[in-house]
Amino acid sequence: MGATVTPTTALSHRPVPLTVSEEVADALHEGRPVVALESNVITHGLPYPDNAATARKVEQAVRAGGSVPATIAVEGGRIVVGMTDADIERFASTPGIPKVSSRDLPVVLAQGRTGALTVASCLVAAELAGIPFFSSAGIGGVHRGAATTMDVSSDLIQFTRSKVAVVCAGAKKILDLGLTLEYLETQCVPVVSYRSDDFPAFYCASSGFRSPLRLDDDELVARSIENHWALGNRGGFLVTTPVRPEEAIDGEEVDAAIVEATAAADRDGIRGQAVTKYLMRAVDAATEGRSSRANMAVLISTAEVGGRLAAAYARLRAGL
């Protein structure tokens, strides 16, 4: 059974309905490293049963890195931190579970509904639970054409609000990655590439843009994150790690597929949140399924790095 906790905010005395699994609660109590994981990749990523199998492999990768995984969802109007294997199977095999971002979370909780959490909403839940690390394959960013559409992912906004370190493989190639980096700089979000000179692009090893900073040592990354918060910053810290070379997709091949798919999306009137899913499926078709396999690979490799860095941070905190 999980432990039910009721954190409150400074402006409200109403408890937030939050249930933390026994394993995660014990780890947090003992100061052991925990890595938060999103449930949206289970329900809106790969098809069943690949989604369930991949979610389990992602949790195993976090453990291989030396940390405890905490996949997060909303069920019955409660935030569940640390999904069980049965939870993962149910979410993976149930069609129609909605995606819940940070702006949707208060309403979904009030209505007593169930939903899969995105990067942004997971950051909210992770901070409430006291989990300082989160891992995801690829974050959202500034969309192509944002100068006219104003389409900017809520992930970027949430980085400025949640005190959680994010380990990822950069941002998706379908985005305007140059503007994404500019936005992160404007919002004073540190961007560090782990053992790479370039800012990666999800299942492409490089976005074509150099990373602002590079660090190769786990302890240096941990100290940098601790310094960021010690300096009074309330927001997050972004650490990127590229997909392994043998699992990467050629960037030029993906770009060609994106250009064609973007034109088709405009022609078919695809707008808003539907654009990302449309473009990702188009890239998968153009690469004959190789991008889906790379998607699975990068989820796992990123989670393992997240587990290692969270463990380094826990060691640092234990020595303070």
pLDDT digits (tens, 9 = 90+) for 158-214: 999 999 999 999 998 889 999 999 999 999 999 999 999 999 998 888 999 999 999
CATH fit for domain 132-312, picks 1.10.530.10, 2.70.150.10, 3.40.1790.10, 3.40.50.450:
3.40.1790.10
DSSP state of 142: B
Assess contact for 280 and 262: CB atoms under 8 A. Answer: no
In sign, the C-alpha dihedral spanning 293, 116, 300, 133 is positive
Measured between alpha carbons, how far is 156 from 107 in angstroms, rounded to an integer?
21
Measured between alpha carbons, how far is 101 from 154 in angstroms, rounded to an integer?
8
- Identify the three-state secondary structure at position 171: strand
Measured between alpha carbons, how far is 291 from 281 in angstroms, rounded to an integer?
9
**Options 59, 75, 172, 247, the catalytic residue:** 172
pLDDT for the residue numbered 27: 98
First to last CA, the chain: 32
pTM: 0.90
Angle at 35 between CA 170 and CA 171, to 5 degrees: 10
- Is residue 153 marked as binding? yes
- Per-residue pLDDT of 248-307, as tens digits, reads 887 777 777 777 777 777 787 777 667 777 777 777 777 767 777 888 899 999 999 999
On average, the pLDDT of the chain sits at 91
Measured between alpha carbons, how far is 315 from 222 in angstroms, rounded to an integer?
9
CATH assignment of 1-131?
3.40.1790.10
In percent, the amount of the chain with pLDDT more than 90 equals 71
Chain-centroid distance, C-alpha 198: 19
In order of 123, 129, 230, 234, the CA distances from 164 in angstroms are 7, 11, 13, 9
pLDDT for the residue numbered 3: 66
- Is residue 119 marked as binding? yes
Matching residue, tokens 């069609």: 95
In order of 21, 110, 124, 164, 166, the CA distances from 128 in angstroms are 14, 17, 6, 10, 15
- Is residue 197 marked as binding? no
- Is residue 283 marked as binding? no
**Pairing assessment for the beta strands 68-75 and 115-117 based on DSSP bridges:** antiparallel
Tell me whether residue 38 is one of the annotated catalytic residues: yes
Mean pLDDT, residues 240-254 taken together: 85
In percent, the amount of the chain with pLDDT more than 70 equals 94
Assess contact for 173 and 205: CB atoms under 8 A. Answer: no
Mean pLDDT, residues 62-88 taken together: 98
Mean pLDDT, residues 34-47 taken together: 93
Q: How confident is the model at residue 14 (pLDDT cuts 50, 70, 90)?
A: low
* pLDDT of 1 over the 90 cut: no
Domains 1-131 and 132-312 share a fold: yes
* Range name among 110-124, 204-218, 219-233, 268-282 with the lowest pLDDT average: 268-282
Return the domain boundaries, the chain: 1-131, 132-312
Closest CA to 280 of 37, 45, 2, 111: 45
Contacts with 53 (C-beta within 8 Å, 6 or more apart), sequence order: none
**Options 38, 59, 89, 304, the catalytic residue:** 38
> CA-based Rg of the chain, rounded to a whole angstrom?
18
* pLDDT of 11 over the 60 cut: no
Mean pLDDT, residues 138-162 taken together: 93
